[in-house]
Amino acid sequence: MKIVVIGGTGLVGSNVVARLREHGHEAVPAAPNTGVNTLTGEGLAEALTGADVVVDVSNSPDFADDPVMHFFRTSTTNILEAEKKAGTAHHVALSVVGTDRLTDSGYFRAKEVQENLIKDSGQPYSIVHATQFFEFVGGIADEATHGDTVRVSNALIQPMASKDVAAAVAKIAAGTPTNSTTEVGGPEKFGVDEFVRTALTFRNDPRQVVTDPEAPYWGVHLEKETLIPAPDAQLAPTRLEDWLPLNPPPSK
């Protein structure tokens, strides 16, 4: 099958492309640096010519409320219209566990709009809801840092490795449309505080992690299970203790 991966040169997208190619598919990365701009439509029709499946793992370059809404609304609309013209038979999109519970955030309101556009498009689709990535732990800590203190909630989180996210997306892309949402998550639940503390301790980061049930998560208040997938979620194999030694923090 020819499978076009929107955002196919990024963290998850490049891994999706690699996995699909390993299984014999013609996986084509599509991103601004390959000449495809989903906001303007540049290169989109050409990239989708002959495509059986389109996988969208792209993300907004700007997370402020108005730009992120513009990105997901415009990009998704353009992709869906191009798919219909190309006769593409399956639209796969990566989204986030808890999107519908995090709508105090402009980012998650935009993700919900993206999902609704897909569901209402008439295109056969599969949506993958993933939990937060292990790779985001540094960003979570930095966002919650005040001086030498990291103040985070003890709400539950069930993070996973980005390579496991890519594996789940690639598997669904190679299958038939589910016309539903599939949830995937990591093999272990932590408090957000425990997740951050474990990573910072392993990396010899001197910041002190303070547990505060009222601490916001990217500006949003978390209930105990806001970030947790449903009990029937597919669980990935990679554990945090195995991931950390292989993934040093990025250089600053």
Q: What is the pLDDT of residue 252?
A: 59
pLDDT, tens digit, for every residue of 67-92?
Answer: 999 999 999 999 999 999 999 999 99
Torsion sign across C-alpha atoms 199, 204, 210, 216: negative
Q: What is the pLDDT of residue 126?
A: 98
Q: Take residue 27 and report the two structure tokens written for it.
A: 């996986």
Residue 73 lies in a domain: yes
Residue 148 lies in a domain: yes
Q: What is the pLDDT of residue 248?
A: 87
Closest by CA position to 77, among listed 115, 37, 117:
117
Q: For residue 139, how far is the Cα from the chain centroid?
A: 14
Residue 44 lies in a domain: yes
Q: Which residues pair with 92 in a beta bridge?
A: 55, 126
Closest by CA position to 55, among listed 90, 26, 81:
90
**How many other CB atoms sit within 10 Å of the CB of residue 158?**
23
d(CA 252, CA 60): 22
Q: Number of folded domains in the chain?
A: 1
Tell me the CATH number at 138. Answer: 3.40.50.720
Residue 12 lies in a domain: yes
> Which pairing describes strands 125-130 and 145-146: parallel, antiparallel, or unpaired?
unpaired
**How many other CB atoms sit within 10 Å of the CB of residue 151?**
16
Q: How confident is the prediction along the chain (252 residues), in pLDDT tens digits per residue? A: 999 999 999 999 999 999 999 999 999 999 999 999 999 999 999 999 999 999 999 999 998 999 999 999 999 999 999 999 999 999 999 999 999 999 999 999 999 999 999 999 999 999 999 999 999 999 999 999 999 999 999 999 999 999 999 999 999 999 999 999 999 999 999 999 999 999 999 999 999 999 999 999 988 999 999 999 999 999 999 999 999 999 988 765
Q: Determine the 3-state secondary structure of 43 from DSSP.
A: coil
Residue 252 lies in a domain: no
pLDDT, tens digit, for every residue of 226-250?
Answer: 999 999 999 999 999 999 999 988 7
Q: What is the pLDDT of residue 47?
A: 97
Residue 240 lies in a domain: yes
Closest by CA position to 140, among listed 154, 129, 150, 130:
150
Q: What residues make up the domain containing 8?
A: 2-246
Residue 251 lies in a domain: no
Q: What is the pLDDT of residue 249?
A: 83
